[in-house]
């Protein structure tokens, strides 16, 4: 039996005089990649911001493990451009590890994303794809138990998108955490996810939930398109 990591009960949220969520309920399983798939502007990021505490719901409850920590990977790398690759990762680890531990963790995560030879480069010297790999390394280096992916592969060319998706899945399989993956890209959702939650309507509803381990024999892509 899978454990529930995140649970929302009867959550309501109004934004710009529009009711986005009305008595909304959803569960996310521990150490699984759960994709929140839906049209742009539907309220996917608002949901994640409520889960992480950046936004307070108007009513309802959000249940998380005590002392939950979050890592983020956004569409833009959101790195300190005047810092080196190494220092960008080291910066978020100082509170938790000593110097030797930080060095070992950083070297390990940079190797996983193929950037061992670039640890002393400034972010401003990197390509966009390399900077996003630094973001992935930083997210896994940080001692989080919940990882938020907010459209991190959006706008990339096909080869780079494919490379980052493969790298992410490979790292995650060796360091599993609960992942909430926001996207409106069906191919990305199918490749990466254990579960796909299709969001639609106003207020938001989960119009379909797809379990990928039970969907190998069905036309998952057409099912998703039907509900989007």
Residues 189 and 177 in one domain: yes
In a domain? residue 76: no
In a domain? residue 77: no
Residues 121 and 19 in one domain: no
> Which pTM value belongs to this model?
0.92
For residue range 129-175, list pLDDT tens digits in order.
Answer: 899 999 999 999 999 999 999 998 887 888 888 988 999 999 999 99
In a domain? residue 109: yes
Cα–Cα nearest to 204, from 35, 78, 45, 3: 45
- HSE of 47 in the Cβ direction (CA atoms, 13 Å)? 36
Domain count, the chain: 2
End of a domain among 144, 160, 178? 144
For residue range 166-193, list pLDDT tens digits in order.
Answer: 999 999 999 999 999 999 899 999 999 9
Residues 124 and 153 in one domain: no
Residues 116 and 182 in one domain: no
pLDDT score at 215: 57
Alpha helices in the chain (DSSP H): 44-52, 85-91, 99-112, 128-141, 158-174, 186-192, 220-227
What does the block give as tokens for 111?
């190797």
pLDDT score at 114: 92
Residues 92 and 159 in one domain: no
pLDDT averaged per 10 residues, the chain (length 228): 88 94 98 95 94 96 94 91 97 97 97 95 94 94 96 85 91 95 93 95 95 71 85
Supply the range of the domain harboring residue 118. Answer: 82-144
In a domain? residue 90: yes
In a domain? residue 136: yes
What is the distance between the alpha carbons of residues 225 and 135, in angstroms, rounded to a whole number?
30
Helix (H, G, I), strand (E, B) or coil at 71: strand
pLDDT score at 113: 92
pLDDT score at 117: 97
- Strand order across the 18-29 sheet: 18-29, 4-15, 59-63
Q: How far is CA 205 from CA 3, 25, 180, 181, 186, in A?
A: 23, 9, 17, 17, 18
Cα–Cα nearest to 24, from 1, 2, 4, 50: 50
Residues 155 and 60 in one domain: yes
End of a domain among 97, 112, 144? 144
Residue-by-residue DSSP string for 152-164:
TTTT--HHHHHHH
Residues 150 and 62 in one domain: yes
Residues 48 and 155 in one domain: yes
pLDDT score at 77: 86
Residues 123 and 87 in one domain: yes
pLDDT score at 218: 64
Domain containing residue 9: CATH number: 3.40.50.300
pLDDT score at 216: 58
pLDDT score at 1: 55
Residues 149 and 223 in one domain: yes
End of a domain among 125, 144, 163? 144
SS3 percent helix, strand, coil of the chain, rounded to 5, is: 35, 30, 35
What is the distance between the alpha carbons of residues 131 and 127, in angstroms, rounded to a whole number?
6
Residues 150 and 180 in one domain: yes
What is the distance between the alpha carbons of residues 51 and 48, in angstroms, rounded to a whole number?
5
């Amino acid at each position: 039996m899978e454990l529930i990591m995140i649970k929302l009960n009867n959550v309501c949220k109004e934004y710009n005089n529009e009711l986005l969520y009305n008595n909304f309920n959803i569960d996310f399983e521990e150490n699984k990649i759960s994709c929140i798939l839906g049209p742009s502007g539907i309220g996917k990021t608002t949901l994640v911001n409520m889960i992480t505490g950046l936004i307070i719901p108007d009513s309802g409850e959000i249940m998380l493990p005590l002392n939950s920590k979050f890592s983020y990977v956004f569409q833009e790398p959101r790195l300190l451009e005047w810092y080196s690759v190494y220092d960008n990762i080291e910066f978020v680890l100082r509170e938790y590890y000593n110097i030797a531990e930080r060095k070992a963790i950083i070297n390990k995560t940079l190797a996983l994303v193929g950037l061992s030879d670039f640890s002393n480069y400034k972010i401003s010297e990197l390509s966009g794809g390399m900077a996003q790999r630094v973001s992935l390394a930083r997210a896994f280096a940080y001692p989080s138990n919940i990882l938020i992916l907010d459209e991190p592969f959006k706008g990339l060319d096909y080869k780079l998108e494919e490379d980052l998706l493969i790298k992410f899945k490979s790292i995650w399989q060796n360091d599993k955490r609960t992942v909430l993956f926001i996207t409106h890209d069906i191919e990305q959702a199918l490749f990466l996810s254990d579960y796909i939650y299709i969001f639609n309507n106003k207020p938001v509803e989960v119009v379909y939930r797809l379990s990928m381990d039970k969907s190998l024999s069905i036309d998952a892509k057409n099912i998703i398109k039907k509900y989007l």
